[in-house]
Amino acid sequence: MADGDAAAITWDQWRAARPDLDLAPMTLFGGLKRAHAMLELLLEPVFETSPISSAEFDVLFHLRHAPSPVIARRLAQTMDKSAAALSKTLTKLERRGLVQRVANPADKRSALVTISEQGAAAVDQVMPRRLVLEDEAIATLTDRQRADVARAFRVIGTALGSTARVRG
């Protein structure tokens, strides 16, 4: 049974058990979660042989070409991460010399983060291998399909961001 079939069976079971619930939102987000999980599995070989994890790559990726030190709180917002989750990752990176954190002279309550030469080298090592795997994964998509998917992700991201701001 293909994974898509298993998902369809699960949705059918839920619809039969709870016909009062509109599963449309969960169907959409379930697809996104499944795609994300599949991407993580696809990228596992890259990070198995890398000095950094996927989460650490994400942080270093954002810092790699920043023209100046980045305020940690802004980095968390840019990455859609909680300050606590980012701080945990930054601590690991800092211990290994991949980033530096210093107190912000303009606001002692915040930290400025910069990538080190070792951090830049780590991200530079991973990036080409990651891009090859990602490109292979979407090789069957036409340019139009790629653009449609990218547009759909932007629309969903905007909707989620608007909802988060209203609730936050």
Tens of pLDDT, residue by residue, the chain (168 residues) = 455 577 788 889 999 999 999 988 888 888 899 899 999 999 999 999 999 999 999 999 999 999 999 999 999 999 989 999 999 999 999 999 999 999 999 988 889 999 999 999 999 999 999 999 999 999 999 999 999 999 999 999 888 886 655 454
Structural domain includes residue 143: no
**CA diameter of the chain:** 60
Residue 139 counted as domain residue: no
Name residue 100's amino acid.
Q
Residue 132 lies in a domain: no
Residue 141 pairs in a beta bridge with none
> What's the half-sphere exposure (Cβ side, CA atoms, 13 Å) at 129?
16
pLDDT on residue 1: 45
Q: The whole model's pTM is what?
A: 0.82
Q: Domain with 35 in it: what CATH number? A: 1.10.10.10
C-alpha 156/C-alpha 117 separation (Å) is 36
Separation between Cα atoms, residue 26 and residue 115, nearest integer Å? 38
The domain in which residue 41 lies consists of: 26-126
Q: What is the DSSP string of 88-123?
A: HHHHHHHHTTSEEEEEETTEEEEEEEEE-HHHHHHH
If one counts the domains in the chain, the total is 1
